[in-house]
Amino acid sequence: MTASTAPPSAPLLAIRGLSKAFLGVQALDGVDFTLRHGEIHALLGENGAGKSTLIKTLTGVYQRDGGTVALEGREIAPRGVEEAQRLHIGTVYQEVNLLPNLSVAENLFLGRQPMRWGLVDRGAMRRRARAVLQPYGLSVDVTAPLGRFSVATQQIIAIARAVDMSAKVLILDEPTASLDAQEVAVLFKVMRTLRSRGIGIVFVTHFLDQVYEVCDSITVLRNGRLVGERRTADLPRLDLVAMMLGRELEAAAHRIDLGPAELDSRPPLASFKGFGKARSVEPFDLDIRPGEVVALAGLLGSGRTETVRLVFGMDRADKGEATVDGRPARLRGPRDAVRLGFGFCPEDRKKEGIVGELSVRENIILALQARQGWLKPIPRRRQEEIADRFIRLLDIRTPDAERPIQLLSGGNQQKALLARWLATEPRLLILDEPTRGIDVGAHAEIIRLIERLCADGMALLVVSSELEEIVAYSRRVVVLRDRRHVAELRGGEVSVERIVAAIASETPNPIASETPNIEVRQ
């Protein structure tokens, strides 16, 4: 498809030297970004790269500290979402920011309903809603509540709203994260249609296949800095992954002693067969043996977190079975997992991990106490012993064990959460991004701890974006892509290069190549 409008000389959107800091942390540091008319431009980067800060600065949620943003050559500085919308910048988020309780038509026209005699002209609104959706091939009942439709349909409606409010720049922030392959295909068809109308699309995604399927250009950010801009056609996957992860691929990592080879013949502690959940992660097989670290590697959104949440029962699997110690195990909730001797430090510490206002001591003993039941309280003296022991053992920096845990730094909160599970003497410890957002010192300590626990015979299942880290301590690495377990590396095979290669490997997507059954009209 080629652009139907001749591209004007000035680019649609030109960002130069954009900077933004939060409380002294430089989230964006002199970033350039150029979007042309009729272009789909992927904005890529791992966590903390600065993608969302860039988008929020564009849409007026944040005000930039420095740099320039020019729309068709004209300097702009939106101070709010509405103003950005007026400046023809529309945004559609992964969590569709529309209202599920309002009808499709009301969502499309909220705040700008057609009026007649001082009242909303509902008939005209319905007609115009149908007309607005028609080019997208959506002939839905526009009077039905939005929440009744699939996320994919909602997303297209959100795009239609943004475009109808005369968007020239359309920002799609991870729109495909909760869509299935067929829905993605429909969305791409819509995106291509918009591109042919001269609209510039900024596309944020974690799925590399999708980048190569639909995008013209790629801009990669890392740690708030621009890594580079490339034409998609000129950038091999391996180079893209290297740009995103920022690795010197030849770097040989230090590896720990992986233990005797007969470890593989030991009976697994926990074994999962065909375990999976629709729209979360494809069914997978996974064995975890005592005394080994199994790492889950993959880009953000590849299904790593979803996998460990199923293993701990935080989400309930709808397929497959789990066996622990050779016996079928029920995993209907975290309580079942705790009873089986599992422990889980979640990725979102604040929301799912710590109990903020409780003290460090109470947070540390919580899981142990929950397993013992409320009738057998751990005596205060013993609680203090446990807390003090782990504060010393893990070097948790807190003036005392009675400090509310929310006052601690992220790394110390993480160590306290580790202590919570270590106090229960778990047999399988699951860590989701254990070193995310914590300082360098704590980082190294947590890695040493992982190695020590493994040596003591504990089984660990670790999710991490830090590949050197994974290579350093893992006996086996399961690589995920697009919510699927795509490769397993063991022993000597484990290396950063092999992991990156597996992440970047191209496998045809069986469903996306099918012709979607939606007619996209012009």
Sites for other proteins among residues 90-149 (CB under 8 A):
97-102, 106, 110-111, 113, 119-120, 122, 137-141, 143-145, 147-149
Sites for other proteins among residues 248-267 (CB under 8 A):
none
168: amino acid identity, one letter:
K
| Contact call for residues 216 and 39 (beta carbons, < 8 A) | yes
Complex with other proteins: residue 68 or 101, whichever CB lies closer: 101
Complex with other proteins: residue 146 or 244, whichever CB lies closer: 146
- Any idea what DSSP says for residue 145? B
Enumerate long-range contacts of 137-142, CB under 8 Å, 24 or more apart.
137/186, 137/189, 137/518, 137/519, 137/520, 137/521, 140/104, 141/104, 142/103, 142/104, 142/105, 142/108
Sites for other proteins among residues 268-297 (CB under 8 A):
none
Query: Binding residue for other proteins (CB under 8 A) from 152, 170, 208, 489?
Result: 152
Complex with other proteins: residue 135 or 246, whichever CB lies closer: 135
| Count of residues that bind other proteins according to CB under 8 A | 84
Cα 153 to chain center, whole Å? 21
Sites for other proteins among residues 175-194 (CB under 8 A):
183, 186
How far apart, in whole angstroms, are the C-alpha atoms of residue 353 and residue 362? 13
Sites for other proteins among residues 25-54 (CB under 8 A):
none
Stretch of 24-32, 218-226, 358-366, 503-511 contacting other proteins, by CB under 8 A: 358-366
Place of tokens 């233990």: 259
Complex with other proteins: residue 76 or 366, whichever CB lies closer: 366
User: Is residue 513 within the footprint of other proteins (CB under 8 A)?
Assistant: no
User: Is residue 85 within the footprint of other proteins (CB under 8 A)?
Assistant: yes
Complex with other proteins: residue 44 or 461, whichever CB lies closer: 461
How far apart, in whole angstroms, are the C-alpha atoms of residue 467 and residue 500? 9
Give me the least distance between CB of 458 and other proteins, in Å please: 18
The DSSP H or E segment spanning 374 is none
Interaction mask 477-506, other proteins, x per CB under 8 A:
------------------------------
The DSSP H or E segment spanning 25 is strand 25-35
Query: Binding residue for other proteins (CB under 8 A) from 45, 334, 341, 434?
Result: 334
Interaction mask 401-420, other proteins, x per CB under 8 A:
-xxx-xxxxx---------x
Complex with other proteins: residue 153 or 176, whichever CB lies closer: 153
Cα 337 to chain center, whole Å? 24
Mark 86-103 as b/e (b = at least 16 C-beta within 10 Å): ebbbbbbbbebebeeeeb
How far apart, in whole angstroms, are the C-alpha atoms of residue 272 and residue 297? 18
Give me the least distance between CB of 416 and other proteins, in Å please: 12
Stretch of 81-89, 386-394, 450-458, 499-507 contacting other proteins, by CB under 8 A: 81-89
Query: Binding residue for other proteins (CB under 8 A) from 366, 393, 501, 512?
Result: 366
Pairing, β 40-44 against β 217-222: parallel
User: Is residue 81 within the footprint of other proteins (CB under 8 A)?
Assistant: yes
Residues 6+ apart with CB under 8 A from 280: 303, 306, 310, 315, 483
Give me the least distance between CB of 418 and other proteins, in Å please: 13
| Torsion 183-140-190-96 (CA) sign | negative
